[in-house]
Amino acid sequence: MDSVIERLHQGEHIPERVVAQICSLAEELLVEESNIQLIPTPVTVCGDIHGQLHDLFTLFETGGACPDERYLFLGDFVDRGFFSVETFLLLLSLKVRYPDRVYLIRGNHESRQISASYGFYDECLRKYGNASVWRMCCEVFDHLSLGALIGGPGGVFCVHGGLSPEIRTMDEIRKIDRKQEVPHEGPMCDLLWSDPEDGYAFDSVDWSLSSRGAGFIFGEAPVKEFHQRNNTTLIARAHQLVVQGYHEMFDGQLVTVWSAPNYCYRCGNDAAVLTIDDDMNREYKVFEASDHTKMHATGQGRAPLPQYFL
């Protein structure tokens, strides 16, 4: 596994048979993990990566090398960037090599329908000549946890998207059968697709249908209720582009962390990671796009991606 990790850092192609081995080993680990993984402190929380491999290298330079530091990635490893295959394989390889130092939860792009439409499927075809690697990775997607709890009681609930009107407690999340394609509706879908909105005019209604076509928009009241029922103090999530890399809402009860700088090689945004220490203090570390990503942005790389943002 050390050899695979080094090859990925050097930009080398990983043969299909090796991909099969990595995916098989990863599934063996992930199937034993709970829907909500309990993660000790200190830990660094990372938002969307979206196939921006060289920015993932910068992320590790910013947050500290693995396994020296413990990491939690909040999903959306693939699609839109040009190196989704290498990005996902590197994270899986690190998970297999250091299972107690790397944690991965599922994003809305870790699904067959979405990854077939926004880049990952086509990238697998281009790099391997068939869809076998894509199918193997999709099987791994089905084993990824739906959330995490940092620090135990009074800690941080982590999820890719947000809350669900059908979920009041974390025990209800633990009962979900996650080993499936992401449904189009229901609590599992909501966890991966929903978004908070500050100051939204709900007209005394706590939830509103999302314009994404899946999940909900929710305000401060559901966040407060979730904290009270589950003895948590912060919800850390990803899923939405944040120009400054992170954004706290509802008097610091929720934060969005975004870790793909200059998203889609054109947005010009910063990226960030969030470190939670043993005393549950928060430290945000902001970083810019790598030189490699800037090269794509200036037109020296491949053709630009389609205009579409989630």
* DSSP, res 161: S
Q: Note the Cα 66 to chain centre separation in Å.
A: 17
Question: In this structure, is residue 21 part of a structural domain?
Answer: no
Q: Shortest CA distance to 160 belongs to which of 92, 43, 232, 73?
A: 73
62-86 pLDDT, tens digit per residue, is 999 999 999 999 999 999 999 999 9
* pLDDT for position 308: 38
Enter the tokens of residue 282: 């928060």
Rounded mean pLDDT, 277-284: 98
Question: In this structure, is residue 13 part of a structural domain?
Answer: no
Question: In this structure, is residue 239 part of a structural domain?
Answer: yes
- Would the CA dihedral through 285, 291, 296, 301 be positive or negative? negative
Residues spanned by the domain of 189: 27-296
Question: In this structure, is residue 306 part of a structural domain?
Answer: no
Rounded mean pLDDT, 212-221: 95
Question: In this structure, is residue 133 part of a structural domain?
Answer: yes
Question: In this structure, is residue 66 part of a structural domain?
Answer: yes
Q: How many domains does the chain have?
A: 1
Q: What strands, in cross-sheet order, belong to the sheet with 207-209?
A: 195-196, 216-218, 207-209
Count the helices and strands in the chain (H runs, E runs): 11, 14
Enter the tokens of residue 274: 């969030």
232, β-bridge pairs: 155
CATH code (residue 72): 3.60.21.10
Question: In this structure, is residue 276 part of a structural domain?
Answer: yes
Question: In this structure, is residue 248 part of a structural domain?
Answer: yes
123-158 pLDDT, tens digit per residue, is 999 999 999 999 999 999 999 999 999 999 999 999
In this structure, the number of other CB atoms found within 10 A of the CB of residue 188 comes to: 22
Catalytically active residues are 109
From CA 282, how far away is CA 293, in angstroms rounded?
28
